[in-house]
Amino acid sequence: MRCAVAVQQAMPERSTSVEAEKRIELRIGINLGDVIVEGDDLYGDGVNIAARIEALANAGGVFVSNTVHDQVRDRLPFVFKDLGEQQVKNIARPVRVYRVRDLGATAKTPSAAASPVLPLPDKPSIAVLAFANMSGDPEQEYFVDGMVEEIITALSRIRWFFVLARNSSFTYKGQAVDVKQVGRELGVRYVLEGSVRKAGQRVRITAQLIDAQSGSHLWADRFDGSLEDVFDLQDKVAIGAAGIIEPTLRQAEIERARRTRADSLDAYDLYLRALPFAYTSMPEDADKALGFVEQAIKLEPDFAVAHSIIAWCQEQRYMRRQGPPRSTTPVWRFPRVATTLPLAIAGLVIGFLDPLDYTTALDAFGRSLALSPSSALAPWLQLSHTGMARRERDSDPTSRTSAASQPFRSTEQYSPHGHCYRAFWAGRFEESATAANRATQAHPRFSSPYWMRAAALANLGRIDEAKLMAQRLLEVQPQFTIGSITSAPFANREIFDAMGNALRHVGLPE
């Protein structure tokens, strides 16, 4: 016990000069029991229980079994927290587990020292706590824990997250927790907690995402389903939750970056500050976004996601005829640099600016969805691109399902955007106008839906309404011309010529 505590007390000091991702963080579990000796090997339940307790421990923590606790509690000046009985793998009966708290404090003064505060990772960090089983049926524990494991797995596939392992976050199972304390002890900025309630074959899953630093709620929702197909339900809830949590955390990180002092911004903060401007897809805002991400590249030349935003902003300026890219480097160079990480954005930009390389664009979309099926951004961008190119058959069915079920605040204009093109080409002009209207409501400063709605209304014979949309378009994008869309390099010629003809009826400049 003394050795374990001494080791854990010494590790933070030894790691102060080591980069966060290279630090060694130990979990220690101790058990007292008989073992079987066979040559140089030790095995048996005594060893197995120690291994299971170690797996429950958090990084930097010391966890012990009740047999150890009973022997040392009155002999060593350590404070213990009772974590209750834990059912561990391959051990028939539950094991009572204790966590050593306030390392170095005396047992009689449990508040003498605070638990060590772990440093936050250099990217968004989240712990998914064990969901509470509200059904009163112990047999449902397997479903509840399996549900949480699926959510952890789904979140782990989002590469810009740091997701804490189940072994660490489940140490709080069955306890009433203070999320701020959880954040400090686990070294995470965000915590997801929830509950599962069962009635017959119906189940209701609630979840809430909390900022562990402020204690504020960022998002809460519920999912209803049937236990007839447990695995299908777990998949749907996990993908749905991850698809909503990703944009929610992205927005929270953007707000955090805005509150960061300008003189302490790092490359990641600069990238976050660029995102709201990049997502408007308008050249004036693209210039503002470029100012941030170009600073980020100077700090970190290999910051791939910043390169992708540069590519996207350059595309926005080029497609709206705002002149050549600000950089002397050819605009098509940037997607190649960025393809390694932000594949969805790379697919959009490559497809738009290099129509002869459409296969590479599709490959980028496919790889993006394969890496992170719950991504909110990829399905929007793929549907938008395939819709404008009239190649919907090339879009992954997964992306169509994801786009329909994932509300992404910053990019929700892209789904109706692509839908508008497909409906227009099929002659469903009312449907096209409705989709364009949804896009204008989602992002009033995004110009494309205005001329798409004007074209659809003109084909419906509603010329006065179409002219009104044309006026609003010129307010948003004063330099708009019909030629700027009919000569787009990526587009399906027939659909854009048809839109151009419709726009001539409402008086827009050639």
Which tokens in the block code for residue 361?
């664009």
The angle, 0 to 180 degrees and rounded to 10, between the axes of the packed helices 267-279 and 230-259 is: 100
d(CA 506, CA 52): 72
Which among 54-58, 121-125, 352-356 has the top mean pLDDT? 54-58
What pLDDT, in 10s, does the model give residues 37-46? 888 888 888 8
Q: 21-30, 311-320, 434-443, 465-474: lowest mean pLDDT where? A: 311-320
CA distance linking residue 83 with residue 81, whole number of Å: 6
Together in a domain, 164 and 280? no
Query: Quick one: which of 302, 293, 296, 315 has its CA closest to 489?
Result: 315
Give the pLDDT score at 229.
76
Residue 394 has pLDDT above 60, yes or no: no
Tokens of 369: 């969805």
The answer to whether residue 153 is domain-embedded is: yes
Q: Which long-range contacts (CB under 8 A, 24 or more apart) does 218-221 make?
A: 218/190, 218/248, 218/249, 218/252, 219/244, 219/245, 219/248
Pairing of strands 62-65, 28-30: parallel
If one counts the domains in the chain, the total is: 4
Q: What is the pLDDT of residues 134-147, one digit of tens each?
A: 876 776 777 888 88
Residues 123 and 6: their CA atoms lie apart, in Å, by 30
pLDDT band (50, 70, 90) for residue 430:
very high
Cβ atoms of 179 and 212 closer than 8 Å: yes
Q: What CATH number should be reported for the domain holding residue 68?
A: 3.30.70.1230
Q: How many CA atoms lie within 13 A of 166 on its CB side?
A: 14
pLDDT higher than threshold 90 for residue 63: yes
Domain-located, residue 156: yes
Higher local confidence (pLDDT), 236 or 495:
236
Give the pLDDT of residue 384. Answer: 57
Distance from the Cα of residue 329 to its chain's centroid: 31
Rg (CA), the chain: 28
Residue 154 lies in a domain: yes
Contact status, residue 155 vs residue 245, Cβ threshold 8 Å: yes
Which of 89-103, 173-187, 433-447, 468-482: highest mean pLDDT? Answer: 468-482
End position of a domain, from candidates 205, 240, 258: 258
User: At which of 289, 324, 341 does a domain end?
Assistant: 341
Q: What is the Cβ-side half-sphere exposure of residue 85, based on CA atoms within 13 angstroms?
A: 5
Residue 327, domain CATH: 1.25.40
> Do residues 291 and 233 share a domain?
no
277 and 336 in a common domain: yes
Q: What would the 3-class secondary structure string for 263-324 be?
A: HHCCHHHHHHHHHHHHHCCCHHHHHHHHHHHHHHHHHCCCCHHHHHHHHHHHHHHHHCCCCC
Query: Does some domain include residue 114?
Result: no
Q: Which of 258, 292, 314 is the last residue of a domain?
A: 258
Are residues 40 and 91 both part of a single domain? yes
The answer as to whether 239 is a domain residue is yes
For residue 395, being part of any structural domain is answered with no
Domain check: are 76 and 168 in the same one?
Answer: no
Whether 234 and 314 map to the same domain: the answer is: no
- Max Cα distance, the chain (Å): 91
Residue 403 has pLDDT above 90, yes or no: no
Model pLDDT, residue 445: 77
pLDDT of residue 219: 86
| 142 shares a domain with 82 | no
Q: What is d(CA 446, CA 170) in angstroms, rounded to the nearest whole number?
A: 44
Q: How does residue 385 score in pLDDT terms, banded at 50, 70 and 90? A: low
CATH number at 227 reads 3.40.50.10610
Neighbour-count burial of 2, counting CB atoms closer than 10 A to its CB (0-12 exposed, 13-18 middle, 19+ buried): exposed
**Helix 377-388 and helix 414-425, axial crossing angle in degrees, nearest 10:** 20
* pLDDT tens digits, one per residue of 449-485: 888 899 999 999 999 999 999 999 898 888 888 887 7
Do both 423 and 467 map to the same domain? Answer: yes
The predicted structure's pLDDT at residue 218: 87
For residue 371, what pLDDT is reported?
A: 59
Tell me the three state secondary structure of residue 165. coil
Tens of pLDDT, residue by residue over 343-354, are 666 666 666 665
269 CA to centre of own chain = 16
Split at pLDDT 50, 70, 90, the class of 239 is confident
The reply to whether 39 and 29 lie within a common domain is yes
Residue whose tokens read 């549907």: 383
Neighbours of 176 (CB within 10 A): 6
Task: State whether 247 and 216 are in the same domain.
Answer: yes
Tell me: do 75 and 180 sit in the same domain: no
Among 12-26, 295-309, 434-448, the minimum mean pLDDT is found in 12-26
| Mean model confidence pLDDT for the chain | 76
Residues 276 and 248 in one domain: no
**Residue 108 reports pLDDT greater than 90:** no
For position 321, what pLDDT does the model report? 56
* 370 domain residue, yes or no: no
Residue 402 lies in a domain: no
Task: Identify the residue with better confidence: 306 or 454.
Answer: 454
Domain ranges, residue 484: 413-510
